[in-house]
Amino acid sequence: MPIHYEADAEHVVLITIDRPESRNSADMEHFKLLREAWDRFRDDDQAWVAIITGVGEAFFSGADLKRYIPEITKLQRDIAGGGVSEINGYRLDDGTKAVLRNYELNKPVIAAVNGFCTAGGMEMLGGTDIRVACPEAKFAVMEPKRGLFAGGGTTVRLPRQVPWAQAMEFLLCADLIPAQRAYEMGLLNAVVPKDQLLDAARAYAARIVANAPLAVQATKQSALSGLYHDEEEIRRIRDAVRELREVIAPDDAAAAILERLGRDLRTAFERESKLSSFVFSSEDAKEGPLAFAEKRPPRWQAR
């Protein structure tokens, strides 16, 4: 199984992405397996800390586009046609849950970054709490180089987790950034030799599990609620708008105002999704991957 799940007697779970032939990218099946691994960790009272890592030269490189795009397109069509939320265990949100976007997980997660961390790897990294990497690791939000958009949470998370100018260097320049530079930017806790990577991650895990698990989880929950307070606040306002709309006469002016407010309210992650859809429907989004495949500079049109 390409997503390994190993729990030890010290309450630590090791999740390993093992698909080196595809640079540890994920098709629909592997996004599902990764989401299920997170579900298993979340729901196991004896699992207190998770370590996520990869094998070979890559940590996680996100979607295997050649396989995933046609697979998810077919799943969207089949789910819409059948009026169901999943088919054979596959869900439309497997990809986002797998990278911990809009996924409620109050248990600590440690990333042991063994190599390239790009696309969905960067998205998932933003959902982890402690990050160690080897010197060979490279980090990038490369989507703009291909005319695409990082729609898995990075544009929301990164500016909240590292200083603004550092986040913008990542997001706008779209360059591969070496591990030492990523450490200096505040993205990582430590850089250690590759043969010491898992030992370093387990050392962090040991320091965490020495503490009371409920206190640790409540601490992470509180920290997340402060960092992403607007997400919950907007959901509450939206619910209140919906309830008020139901008790006001449809032709009342206040009802029209509430209806407009309900349409306009978006969380940061929802605005990210809307922008992602806009960019992916552009001509530049077609040109970028085509230019990459043809090994030539892209000819951007800004449309």
Each domain of the chain, given as residue ranges in start order, spans 3-214, 228-293
For the domain 3-214, what is the CATH code? Answer: 3.90.226.10
Backbone φ and ψ for 59, nearest 5 degrees, come out as: -85, -65
pLDDT value at residue 91: 86
Summarised one tens digit per residue, pLDDT across range 181-205 is: 999 999 999 999 999 999 999 999 9
Summarised one tens digit per residue, pLDDT across range 98-128 is: 999 889 999 999 999 999 999 889 999 999 9
> Does residue 250 register a pLDDT over 70?
no
List the one residue out of 9, 52, 22 whose CA is nearest residue 34. 52
Two tokens, residue 9: 């007697």
The reply to whether 123 belongs to the active site is yes
297 burial via Cβ count (<10 Å: 0-12, 13-18, 19+):
exposed
Say which of 10, 29, 104, 123 is annotated catalytic.
Answer: 123
Decide: 109 and 129 in contact? Cβ < 8 Å.
yes
Mean pLDDT of the chain: 89
The reply to whether 29 belongs to the active site is no
Say which of 21, 29, 86, 143 is annotated catalytic.
Answer: 143
pLDDT value at residue 229: 80
Decide: 291 and 148 in contact? Cβ < 8 Å.
no
The share of the chain scoring above pLDDT 90, in percent, equals: 52
pLDDT value at residue 30: 92
123 burial via Cβ count (<10 Å: 0-12, 13-18, 19+):
buried
